[in-house]
């Protein structure tokens, strides 16, 4: 029997191999008998032989199993197998198949002996080949990740998370877990979920004051960065959004980074670019195990615009471009100039670009997708457009040291800034905005008095990034059991 | 200048080194000028020389900086430095110091030139050496992680999380992110937090039905395991506990694992033991960077029971024992027999151990801490003591295929089971418990009809594990900004 790298001799689930582990041993195949478990992806009966494709969710590659139809009993047995059934296979023999699409297959002599059905499917099992459009799959929340297209996005997410962990560990960041339950409203946005117990009458009686789900862990991260120098988190965040778009979730995971001893916004954007490129390069290096050979046949609708191979190649090309080319950087003021010029020449936009007003999603998407055709950092927004904690520039234009990273097709995926570390300036800004009237943010401003440091950070919407990498542009596929404004929670 | 491993040439925050990176280069020290930033941990002026210990939160080791007191200006400058201030140091030269406690120091020629104060402290900066008891530190939530004792527990947590990620990736588990917001109550325990928006009148108007914070992601993980074979998560979970003890949090992180193709509870306990031992061995291998040289002088109170070195040694010995010795396994029925015997001979317990009733915390702690003096798996509890989804044993004793892992000093840190995959048995059990009356768990039972598989998993209370490893036995120190039953949320 093959062995996994760790010594699980006594554990059937580890002596029985995953499909992934078989593919990992391509260059040193073994010729003793193999056991493997999984689900039937497809089955095809020819005259003398049957092809059984098995999947177990650990690999983008299916496992081809070849069964001889040597007698009527075998034919009868094989004919009763159904897509989606769970099988336990034993006594299979490795066979190299260099001339076929898949590099090897497993051969079975006696299917009745070697194939055990350990999980049934119903007569109406819905994952038959012909029905697999994305809208249809999204209507099957308990089954949809049995498809190779959607299970691949979960494995990509898991892989990307590990790459971030490696990277940050390597450069001495500590991963931390700031609270989800909080009494403060980081952004002042007001779109909060409130929390109460189901056994008490008053919403505030459990924790002593009104308690919310965090919209961003940044303020807490600042505390920890001022102790650890460099910290990051990947935490769920919550916004009671009214927006019901493929770019918005009510519950999403945010990768947030906070670090000390950083002085300029260009240091921060360089750091972001290095971080993201390192992760994207790892994806490129592992493209074979990350991207399925077959993309889903029909995506958003029945119209098939590109070939399946083309779609896979488009993703790889995008990763290559992202990893190798220098990302653009412009100031907000430059962005407005570019937008104004084009607004005047061609009426592209619904909203007129005006200095002092936020960029609209249409502006962001056009800048990254049409004008630069590249990720672009837009820096130094007007103070009034951004949050109270951003560091004020020393220039007289009333801007703050911040950036948004815009990417083609998706718009903003990262926002970051230096944080105001001047106690007096911070207090003045909060007062002008009518904040901290009852001292609820005294703890935050007090950080500027006890061993403060120049610091800054950023937040990356994790599902937006995964969805952008995978090229499907709907973040609801990048998280299992998505929570959105218009969606109901069925379980 | 030294360089970090990644090419951050243009970034001051990365060309200026962390304390950890200096220690990593012990065996290949460089002799050009070094820049480093951090906070003053302590300062000591002798006649001709001053010792400045700097920390930056990246390492358990402080950085010793030696400053000549060559003239009155230097003395005046050094006398004005204060513990807790933020410094930016430049033009420092590496000096090996093999005969001293720390293996190297940085030497500065002109302190006025080379030391820049970039962050102040107030007159009342509370982290002076003499005040550092744990209860005192816990009263300083924005400052307490500036101490080496408490920052070490955060770095340990970050390290342990990475080790789990490595391990699970290596054996083909996918890390997933099941939802925090849910309409179901996994354990049926009833201690739920309910979620509403602050802009709407009815609690159910946002998501269409009453929405809660998850108490366990297991039921959702089962869906994903039946697609991916092996999955895990590290997610926040919430319980509106009434218990206010050093072992309970209202918001905690749970590492949950779910895997297919597993048949017996002993396979599962073996897997848990292997997983935990792999992680603990990594801690042992990295003990020097994980454990501070000096443990906090006064822990829970003013009575100092063990020496500081002893405390560090106790932890290492515990890790060694955990990693090398076989963990005990007994059935619940055996556990009751052992407890009964001792209950009759010596009245140790407040509660009489009775077959068919849950083990009390006092029973659990005694079994692991006194009787076995080792982690112990207690398996096969009576069906009535455990959750509805656990797989019923084929034995006639009405037990289920489950385990709790008990550890000395802490009691239960992991609970797990095989899951009932027989559709009829599961439905019958739920009916007997009065569950699923309005079909709210139909989606869950339906999993047993469409490509089911024998499967099981477990949940590890992450703060309990970290706290147990670190030996401080209060899980409130293992998570920044803990949320507990009696605590109020100040920010």
CATH fold of A18-129: OB fold (Dihydrolipoamide Acetyltransferase, E2P) (2.40.50)
Element housing A322 (H / E): helix A308-324
Residue pair B284/B156 in contact (Cβ under 8 Å)? The answer is no
> Would you state the pLDDT for residue A6?
42
A443 closest CB neighbour out of B11, B142, B211: B142
Query: Helix, strand, or coil here: A389?
Result: coil
Q: How far apart are the first and last CA of chain B?
A: 41
- Residue-wise pLDDT for B149-176, tens only, equals 899 999 999 999 999 999 999 999 999 9
pLDDT digits (tens, 9 = 90+) for B355-388: 999 999 999 999 999 999 999 999 999 999 999 9
Query: Could you tell me the two tokens for B436?
Result: 């699923």
Q: How near does any CA of chain B get to the CA of A352, in Å?
A: 30
Give the number of C-alpha atoms closer than 13 A to the C-alpha of residue A365, restricted to the C-beta side: 11
d(CA A290, CA A315): 11
pTM of this prediction? Answer: 0.94
Could you give the 3-state DSSP secondary structure of residue B406?
Answer: strand
Instruction: Check: CB of residue B382 under 8 Å from CB of residue B399.
Output: yes
Residue B234 and residue B173: Cα distance in Å, rounded?
Answer: 13
Least confident range from A169-173, A399-403, B126-130, B202-206: namely B202-206
Distance from CA of A348 to the nearest CA of B (A): 35
Q: If you measure CA to CA, which chain A residue comes closest to B259?
A: A13
Q: Please state, in angstroms and rounded to a whole number, the distance separating the CA atoms of residues A289 and A283.
A: 9
Confidence at residue B242, expressed as pLDDT on a 0 to 100 scale: 78
Residue A347 binned pLDDT confidence (cut-offs 50, 70, 90): low
**Which residue on chain B is closest to A10 by alpha carbon?**
B267
pLDDT tens for each residue of A413-457: 999 999 999 999 999 999 999 999 989 899 999 999 999 999 999
The distance of A235 to chain B (nearest Cα, Å) reads 8
Confidence at residue A13, expressed as pLDDT on a 0 to 100 scale: 44
* Per-residue pLDDT, B203: 54
B483/A179 Cβ within 8 A: yes
Please name which of B275, B402, B273 lies closest in space to residue B327, comparing C-alpha atoms: B273
Interface confidence, given as ipTM, is 0.94
What is the DSSP pairing of strand B376-379 with strand B193-197? unpaired
Boundaries of every domain in chain A? 18-129, 136-478
Q: Do B451 and A86 touch (CB under 8 A)?
A: yes
In this structure, of A204-218, B74-88, B275-289, B312-326, the range with the lowest mean pLDDT score is A204-218
* Chain B CB contacts of A454 below 8 Å: 118
**Whether the predicted pLDDT of A354 surpasses 50:** yes
State residue A77 phi and psi, 5-degree precision: -60, -45
Domain B136-478 has CATH 3.30.930.10: yes
A vs B, Cβ pairs < 8 A, gives 381
Inter-chain residue contact B453 with A119, CB threshold 8 Å: yes
Distance from CA of A99 to the nearest CA of B (A): 28
What is the DSSP-derived secondary structure letter of residue A171? T
Could you read off the pLDDT of A276-333 as tens digits, one per residue? 999 999 999 999 999 987 655 444 444 344 456 788 898 999 999 999 999 999 999 9
Give residue for tokens 């200048």: B1
B interface test, pick of A4, A12, A13 with most B CB neighbours within 10 Å? A13
On whether the CB atoms of residues A477 and A134 are closer than 8 A, the answer is yes
Cα nearest neighbour of B242 on chain A: A206
Stretch B176-186: mean pLDDT: 88
**How far is it, in rounded angstroms, from Cα B459 to Cα B217?**
9
Which among B327, B422, B319 has a CA at the least distance from the CA of B378? B327
Confidence category of residue A242, pLDDT binned at 50, 70, 90: confident
Give residue B93's pLDDT.
Answer: 94
Apex CA B145: angle with CA B142 and CA B147, to 5°? Answer: 125
Residues B344, A55: Cα–Cα separation, whole Å: 56
Q: Check A441 against B491: CB less than 8 A apart.
A: yes
pLDDT value for B88: 96
Confidence of residue B8 (pLDDT cuts 50, 70, 90): very low
**Contact yes or no for A228 and B57 at CB 8 A:** yes
Residues B124 and B140 sit within 8 Å (Cβ to Cβ): no
């Amino acid at each position: 029997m093959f062995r996994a790298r760790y010594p699980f001799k006594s554990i059937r689930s580890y002596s029985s191999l995953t499909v992934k582990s078989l593919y990992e041993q391509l260059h040193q195949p073994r010729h003793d008998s193999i056991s493997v478990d999984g689900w039937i992806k497809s089955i095809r009966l020819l005259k003398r032989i049957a092809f059984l494709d098995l999947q177990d969710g650990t690999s983008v590659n299916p496992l081809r199993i070849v069964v001889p139809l040597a007698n009527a009993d075998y034919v009868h047995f094989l004919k009763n197998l159904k897509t989606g059934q769970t099988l336990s296979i034993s006594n299979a023999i490795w066979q190299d198949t260099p001339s076929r699409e898949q590099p090897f297959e497993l051969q079975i002599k006696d299917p009745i002996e070697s194939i055990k059905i350990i999980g049934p499917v119903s007569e109406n099992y819905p994952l038959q080949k012909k029905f697999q459009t994305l809208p249809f799959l999204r209507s099957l929340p308990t089954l949809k990740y049995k498809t190779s297209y959607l299970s691949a996005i979960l494995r990509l997410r898991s892989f990307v998370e590990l790459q971030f962990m490696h990277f940050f560990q390597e450069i001495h960041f500590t991963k931390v877990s700031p609270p989800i339950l909080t009494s403060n409203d980081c952004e002042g946005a007001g779109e909060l979920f409130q929390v109460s117990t189901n056994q008490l009458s008053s919403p505030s009686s459990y924790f002593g004051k009104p308690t919310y789900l965090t919209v961003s862990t940044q303020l807490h991260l600042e505390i920890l960065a001022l102790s650890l120098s460099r910290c990051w988190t990947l935490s769920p965040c919550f916004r009671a959004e009214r927006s019901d778009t493929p770019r918005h979730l009510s519950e999403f995971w945010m990768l947030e980074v906070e670090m000390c001893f950083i002085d300029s916004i260009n240091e921060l954007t360089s750091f972001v670019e290095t971080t993201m490129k390192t992760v994207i390069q790892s994806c490129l290096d592992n493209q074979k195990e990350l991207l399925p050979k077959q993309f889903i046949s029909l995506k958003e609708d029945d119209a098939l615009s590109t070939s399946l191979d083309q779609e896979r190649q488009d993703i790889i090309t995008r990763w290559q471009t992202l990893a190798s080319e220098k990302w653009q950087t412009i100031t907000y003021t430059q962005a407005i100039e570019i937008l104004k010029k084009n607004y005047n020449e061609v009426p592209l936009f619904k909203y007129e670009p005006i200095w002092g007003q936020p960029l609209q999603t249409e502006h962001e998407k056009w800048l990254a997708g049409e004008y630069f055709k590249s990720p672009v950092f837009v820096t130094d927004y007007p103070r009034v457009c951004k949050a109270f904690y951003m560091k004020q520039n020393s220039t007289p234009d009333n801007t703050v040291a911040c950036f948004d990273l815009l990417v083609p097709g998706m718009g903003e995926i990262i926002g970051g800034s230096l944080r105001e570390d001047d106690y007096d300036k911070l207090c003045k800004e909060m007062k002008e905005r009518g904040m901290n009237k009852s001292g609820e943010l005294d703890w935050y401003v007090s950080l500027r008095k006890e061993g403060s440091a120049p610091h800054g950070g950023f937040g990356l919407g994790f599902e937006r990034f995964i969805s952008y990498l995978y090229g499907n542009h709907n973040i609801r596929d990048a998280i299992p059991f998505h929570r959105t404004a218009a969606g109901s929670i069925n379980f």
